[in-house]
Amino acid sequence: MIQAIRPKLQLLSKDFIQKIIDEALVILEKQGIFVENQEALDLLKEAGMKVDESAQRVFLTPQIVEDSLSSTPSIIKLYDRAGEKEYVVGEDEVHFDPGSAAVTILDHKTQEERRAVTDDLIRFIRLTECLEHIHFQSTGLISSDVPEIISDSYRLYIGLLFSKKPIVTGTFRVEGFKPMYDMLVAVRGSENNLAEKPLAIFDACPSPPLKWSNLTAQSLIDSARAGIPSELISMGMTGATSPVTIAGTLVQHVAENLCGLVICQLAKKGAPVIFGGSPMSFDMRKGTTPMGAIETMMIDSAYCQIAKHLNLPTHAYMGLSDAKINDNQAGLETGIGAVLAALAGVNVVSGPGMTDFESCQSLEKLVVDNEICGMAYRLIDGISQRDDPIATHLFEDFKPDTQFLSLSHTKNWYRKEHTFPTIIDRDTYDYWVSLGKKSIAERASEKVERLLRENPPSLPAEDIIKELKKVMFDDAKKNGISSLPELKLD
């Protein structure tokens, strides 16, 4: 039986990949990179790197990069909240998660963006929980009804309460790591259990060009020591904060991420690291950062190809749109991005649900995007032979009126060969009219409400809830906050 081949997108030749990596190494060695974190600088100095203390600038040798690459695992295994279901992050496995840290939500009723509150975040997390093609959860919305200072720990708190899926998150302040780590430990029962079965990924973004800030470098160090995978999110804007050519931005991207990877490995050898990013094809007319630009997706796909060449797990912000409502643009940009990400074999694809330059989340879009992700998964499953012979036996006794509907071959294979989206419109015109001429956003909104109505919250065990609450309220108290929004936890 002939097996399906995995269709693959490759944008760079081997020589080109090597040239990009070589130039990145030259920059790290000759120009150096800023690291505004004393602990990281100390680690780098101990490892024999030249450090300009006053400028907080470090010069990395190709050797330390090579050593760090060889101690970085090529595969990470994430586990769900119960510690049962395993997700491989590496090779060509693809997992979608909603685009994270949006500040607004697209309100379906008013069709306007507004600040999100706790209830929005809970609905968002619970909805993600129900969507089969969105494998991971993300702390996708920032609640404006809790003080800014604890918004990082608060969104993880809500995520862990209402979701079983592994979760992509990150700190907004150096002090945010401790409570967030304590919450994850509370779920797993012990620090060792958490290191053995990671439940969350922490994002850390260098500041282009060539800088790791105090916050992000600290997140790398703390996560590495705790066994939490760090996702390195380099984010050059072509022609603004990184070179204007796609290849030039790739050089900077690789340099920044490799420095992050070295910091992780110096903090703890063997620490899990994901080579990710959120680079943007900067729009020179508008001064904006389109995530739906084809060039943005080309940069994403290309650095993932480079990361694969280096045997690293990958991540990208793809499958999202810059549209402001759920219109054609929202669908086409998300569709192209999700398909390219799947073809490029990006391991963690953050994007679904997102609009307006990574700033807004839409529940309706998340439901639509779930179907897009389903199509992308179907695509990379490829074409299999299925039967031997493939089809000649179906044409025995071939007659003018032969049809295939009643064949057992059809019944055996149709559900495996074909997918059946639920809100994509495949109705006849008359039937569509009879259903009220609804747009996809309207159908998606109905599905949002139905899913939330029919699926009760996936709360953890009583004692875990208690522990999570304690960590959250302690963190709030430490920051002078005496009350948090009331949650319904039964």
What ranges in 115-150 are assigned the alpha helix state H?
Answer: 118-130
∠ CA 15-239-24, nearest 5°, is 35
**DSSP string over 72-101:** S-S-EEEE-TTS-SEEEESTT--EEE----
Return the number of the residue (10 or 213) whose C-beta is nearest another protein. Answer: 213
CA distances from 383 to 377, 379, 380 (A): 12, 8, 9
Return the number of the residue (211 or 225) whose C-beta is nearest another protein. Answer: 211
CB of 378 to another protein, least distance (A): 37
Distance CA 318, CA 320 (A): 6
Closest CA to 315 of 418, 398, 234: 234
Return the number of the residue (357 or 473) whose C-beta is nearest another protein. Answer: 357
Q: Which residues bind another protein (CB under 8 A)?
A: 103, 142, 148, 172, 207, 213, 237, 239-241, 284-287, 357, 359
In DSSP terms, which residues pair with 168 in a beta bridge? 138, 201
CB of 231 to another protein, least distance (A): 20
Return the number of the residue (116 or 298) whose C-beta is nearest another protein. Answer: 116
CB of 149 to another protein, least distance (A): 9
CA distances from 108 to 120, 121, 281, 423, 445 (A): 12, 15, 29, 16, 7
Query: Scanning the structure block, which residue is given the tokens 């100095």?
Result: 45
CB of 135 to another protein, least distance (A): 28
Return the number of the residue (241 or 305) whose C-beta is nearest another protein. Answer: 241
CB of 244 to another protein, least distance (A): 8
Contact 303, 250 (CB under 8 A): yes
Return the number of the residue (265 or 361) whose C-beta is nearest another protein. Answer: 361
CB of 290 to another protein, least distance (A): 13
∠ CA 20-24-25, nearest 5°, is 120
